[in-house]
Structure 1
Amino acid sequence: MAGGRPGRPALDAQPWVVRLRGPLFDLGLALLIGLFGLFGTAPAGADQPGVVPPDGRAYTLVVVAALALAGRRRWPLATLAVSAGATSAFLVLGHAYGPILFSLFISVYTVAAYRPVRSAAIAAGAALVAVLVHDFVSAGTTPGLAGVVPGAAWVVVPFAVGVTVRVNREATARNRAEQSRKLADEERLRIAQEVHDVVGHGLAAIYMQAEIALHLLPKRPEQAETALTAISRTSREALDELRVTLAVVRRGDDRAPTPGLGQLDQLRDRLAGAGLPVTVEVTGEPRDLPTAVDLAGYRVAQESLTNVLRHAGSATATVRIGYTPTEVTVEVTDTGPRPGAAGARPGPVSRPGGAPATDGHGLAGMRERVAALGGEFAAGPRPEGGFRVYARLPVEPLS
């Protein structure tokens, strides 16, 4: 099952190479600890008076405790039960502390690192009791602190280390998941801004052209054809740009062509057909810009002009693009009468025909685009009338 058991890695969800690597490592570790126990048990008790020299039973317990480690990650509780039982029997028989304790150490660590804290603590407590049994059996009386601490350390220390590793691993997983969610949210916001800019601009232009056509149709039907032709052209261009945007989203290909400041002339012509005269002024030497900067500059100009078309009624607009070695500026001003407080576009504003209009997410989207690139953004009414939108986008200096 892909989800695995609670507190254990989802083994079936991992590549087979990863699933195989863990068991092979555990098998190698078990063999290494077993060999260490076989060759190190006798020397460990050689200098300790009053201990029983290791015999066949002692070496059997050492091997059993070591081989249990081969399944430590798949069956951590069973591994701990085997190693703790073997270690307890080894010590009850009177043998000295030796390499068998490393099997217990690793087993306790594994339970703490791979099982929920509650069940791990219960299992570690049971293992601690098993390890301390020999102190009561051998002495026949209640041992003092000096007799309990050495055995307890082989359980308490690996348990603390395992819990710490588990907590850190879970914190890392949470941070990774949070980062993934953040990136997904940022991507959704970027897509929403792109779709808003493309669809909003196209629909605003189509709306104004349709108003013109409806106005001309009863009196001068021959001139209404021009507006209808402009509607057809604008809708086709908006659909084409929307298809490109959605295709980029589906493919996840940021290398696809995107609009830029070089297309302002086409934008100007499209808006002229919708009844908004636009003047484009460029200062400085136009040059290739990073894709993100070029797109952001174009979207600021496009959304600003779309808002003029929506809110300003009969007006003209001017787009000023300034190039310097370290930045590019975009300023859009219009002559339309629009009330409102500085720094914020007004609430409901009358469109032609009496329908209310709101700015929606236009200014917020522009501000977020510019801020994401480390630039500056300002928008508000002009003292001489009309509205002004200004964006400064930093660019890496030319080498």
Structure 2
Amino acid sequence: MKNSTITLLLLITVALNVKAQKAEEKLHQKLDSIVKQGGLVGFGVSVFSTDDILYQKGYGYADKENDKPYTINTIQNIGSISKTFIGVSLMKAVELGLFSIDTPINDILPFQVVHAKHPEKQITIAHLATHTSGIYDTDKAYDMSYVLENPEEVEPDIYDRNTAKYMHELIKNKPMALGAFLKAYFTSEGSMYKKKNFLKTAPGEKYNYSNMGAALAAYCIEVASQKSFPEFTQEHIFSKIGIKNMGWSYDSIDEENHAKTYSDNGIALPKYSLNSYPDGGLRTSVFGLTKYAQEMINCYYGKGMVLTKEQCEEMMRAHLTKEHYRTKQEVKSNYGYFWERNRNNIIGHNGGDPGIVTLMYYYEDIKLGAIFFTNSNALDNPIASQLIQESWNAIRVYQKEKAQ
């Protein structure tokens, strides 16, 4: 009887291993076929649980001109996933007693931010964190945020028509300190200030996604802590988790491992940074972001190092009601403090900037998460967008097979 039990267990183990190998091989074949279509220069994927990596692999090129492969250690900017780090930092700042989540931002800032249409209503930290501040991001703010690292070397006309036009505008931009950039946008004497920088609705009334509001939240942390936002995140997040090659500038990471990013016509874009960098300028790898995501979900389950279970639950729970939304489409995705929380209990964020798309989501029902990075432009690029969707669909099929 004992031998029969051992034999049965061995057969079950072998069957499970074969099933796992088939699932992984199927995912690899699909992703390999996608990169061979040529619409994405390079990409990396990760599928993970709170304590294990189920699948991690890179495809295509980080630098196609030099045949440098895209790997799980390839570094790139991650776009708006960066905002989740503002959320974590806010919870840490509250824990440190620097302010509360309901503190009016004008009690913190060295300049006053007054809602142009509702000057009697104070904007709070919570309003910024849930995108209900009444702040509106103008095209001018977007355009002036991006700064080319070496503008004198850029040849705009080698790109497709739309990218070339955009590059001609970016060449004019100058780097600005975070506080100076925000002051220029939010104060009446600022070069970017207009009353239309604010919505008609008062703070707290309606949801409206705002990069400028996110950057302002990070600046509140800078002012209250008397540390730069990079210093604050290094001390309270990166070092705690033990992540290397994660930072807010080129000189804070191993630039040799940094991917080139590519335009719609497959030409490498110039290196750029962001004046409003906390809203989308973090640089890391698939491997590094996976460690971060695992830590934050472990915090959510009360097993992490950076935040307590209560802090993480508060940060990731849905704070908005249907009254906050303008359209039925918006209601599908709710917000915690800079973390998305949709009605199917999917937690995370995505990102998109010139030459990059990123996804980071944890599916609470199956207790598995996934990350996707690409160094290819998908903004108004239907071919790249379709290939990204196909990649994510393949990852989701793999997740569901592993969860069974």
TM-score by length of 2: 0.18
Q: Which has more helix, going by share of residues?
A: 1
TM-score by length of 1: 0.18
Q: Which has more strand, going by share of residues?
A: 2
Determine which structure has greater relative contact order: mean sequence separation of CA pairs < 8 Å that are 6+ residues apart, divided by chain length: 2
